[in-house]
Amino acid sequence: MVTIGVLGLQGAVEEHMNQIKEAGEHAILVKNPEQLKDIDGLIIPGGESTTMRKLMDHYGFMEPITAFFEQKKPIFGTCAGMVLVAKEMVSLEHPHLGFINITVNRNGFGRQRESFQAPLIVKGMEEPFMGVFIRAPFAVGVGEDVEILASYDGKVVAARQEQVLVSSFHPELTGDQRFIQLFLKMVKDSINQ
C-alpha cells in the first residue's frame, strides 16, 4: 500500500481522498509541510490557484514541496494544481512552482458558466475519459520533454513530465479510476526504482 497526500489548503480535497481510498491506497490530508515526509506521492487539487498560492506561502509549503519534487517523488496537479506546477504562465511574470515544462493559460476555457464536460481520447486508455472542466486552464506551450496525454479542441489538457502529472480537468469528480490509477502506478514505479 502506498501513501498519497492531498494538499488540504483549499479546493476539491475530499473527492481526491475518496478516490485514493477507493483505489485501495492510504490517503493523508496534508495540512502542514511536516507531513510531506510521510507520503509517497502528492496531489495538488483543483481550487483557486491564487488563493492556494497565498495559503502555500502563509503555511510555508513552497520550499518543502520543491524539496519533495527534487527527491523525484510524484506530484499530480489537477486544474489549479496544474497552474501551480507549470513552469510558465500566460500573463504572469513569476510562475508558482515551475515543475513541468508547460505554459498555462489560467481559466483558459472561461469562467464558471463556461464549465463543461467532454469525452477525451487519452494516450494509453482504450476508452474515452469524461473530462469535467470547471474554470479550467490549458497548456498553450509544451516543452519537448513533456508527454502530451490528452488534448481538447487543439488545446493540451493532460500531460506528464518525469514524475509530474497534470490535468486541466477534474478526474476526481468522475467515477472513473483511470487517472488515479495512472498516478498510483507512477508512485509505485518511483518507489521501486
Question: In order of start, what are the domains of the chain with their CATH numbers?
Answer: 3-192 (3.40.50.880)
3-state secondary structure of 16: helix
Average pLDDT over residues 56-70: 96
Helix, coil or strand: residue 74: coil
The catalytic residue positions are 79, 170, 172
Q: Residue 122: is its pLDDT beyond 90? A: yes
Q: Average pLDDT over the chain, rounded to whole?
A: 93
pLDDT of residue 98: 93
Sign of the dihedral through C-alpha 67, 69, 73, 77: positive
Give yes or no for residue 6 having a pLDDT over 90: yes
Mean pLDDT of 39-46: 97
Residue 57 pLDDT level (bands cut at 50, 70, 90): very high
- Per cent of the chain over pLDDT 90 is 82
pLDDT of residue 93: 66
pTM of the model: 0.95
pLDDT at 43: 98
Residue 104 pairs with which residues in a beta bridge? 89, 139
14-50 exposure pattern, b = at least 16 Cβ within 10 A, e = fewer: ebbbebbeeeebebbebeebebbeebbbbbbbbbebe
* 142 or 107, greater pLDDT: 142
Please name the residue that has the C-alpha cell 509517497.
40
